[in-house]
Amino acid sequence: MNKIRIAVQKSGRLNQDSLRILKEIGISIDNGKDQLKAAARNFPLEVFYLRNGDIPQYLRDGVVDAAIIGENVLIEKGNDIEFVERLGFSKCKVSIAVPKNATANALKDLDGKRIATSYPNTVNKYLAANNISAQLHTINGSVEIAPNIGLADGICDIVSSGSTLYKNGLKEIEVLFESEAVLAVSPAISEDKKVILEKIQFRLKAVLKGRNSKYVLLNAPNDKLSEIIAILPGMKSPTVLPLAKDGWSSVHSVINKGQFWQIIDALKEKGAEGILVCPIENMVV
């Protein structure tokens, strides 16, 4: 039987998050220490553990059929490669930063200056689009040290929490774009493997939808029922069941995690009681 070949980062946080989401969609990986390749026990899939920066070329050449990769790497080294799903983890920004005591406070202040980066293609394209001319120094790793040793006037690198910038006395002055992990696809993927990929996408959508949603059960007075239902978006409409206590109903619905507290506050104001909130593991819609 044909197996789809998926690349993940060899080590680091993206590796851990990638294997975690594969596990959450029901794929069990035989992952031995220091393996470069591992097979799934219960799904037609092989995982290739590769250096992050090498993955775009492996996709382009058809060595792997798909990959879980940072969008920032895809933009830098594989902007000709499409992705089919945003995965919601390993979120970061690609930003330009300068020393805290620098007079530069905007991108235009780096015109004619030196910028150190691991993303030369991305930076060159961004600077050109903004009519800025700067001298780039390409560095692999530890980019943030460049201004401190006099190599550059600013840097362009990924920023997650901002703690690395703070520790190195840097301030962010420009965000090029925001990035997260994506499921990228080889342009050479065969039709039979596309069928397997669609099954993976279906499972991923269910997991991601579950992560971003909460299941809510509450008791509502019947005279306020229509107002409470109007607050709850639901998948189609909330489920309403009569309670043993006269004049009350039980309402069940799904709400977006990002709107959770606003909705709960609004429900309480309308007289909802006994509000129970549950996590959702998967949600198939």
Say which DSSP state 166 is in: H
| Domains of the chain, earliest start first | 4-89+181-210 (3.40.190.10), 92-179 (3.40.190.10), 213-279 (3.30.70.120)
Tens-digit pLDDT profile for residues 79-111: 899 999 999 999 999 999 999 999 889 999 999
Q: Is the pLDDT of residue 258 over 90?
A: no
Whole-number CA gyration radius for the chain = 24
* Residue 234 pLDDT: 59
Q: What is the pTM of this model?
A: 0.84
| Structure confidence by residue, pLDDT tens digits, 221-247 | 999 999 999 888 756 678 899 998 899
Helix (H, G, I), strand (E, B) or coil at 172: strand
Count of H helices and E strands in the chain?
8, 15
CA distance 238 to 219: 12
Is 54 in contact with 77 (CB distance < 8 Å)? no
Give the Cα separation of 18 and 16 in Å (integer): 5
Q: Read off the pLDDT of residues 137-158 as tens digits, 9 standing for 90 and up.
A: 998 878 989 998 889 999 999 9
* Mean predicted confidence (pLDDT) in 30-56: 87
Task: Please tell me the number of Cα atoms within 13 Å of 7 on its side-chain side.
Answer: 24
* Burial track 37-76 (b if 16+ CB lie within 10 A, e otherwise): ebebeebbbbbbbbebeebbebbbeebbbbbbbbbbbbbb
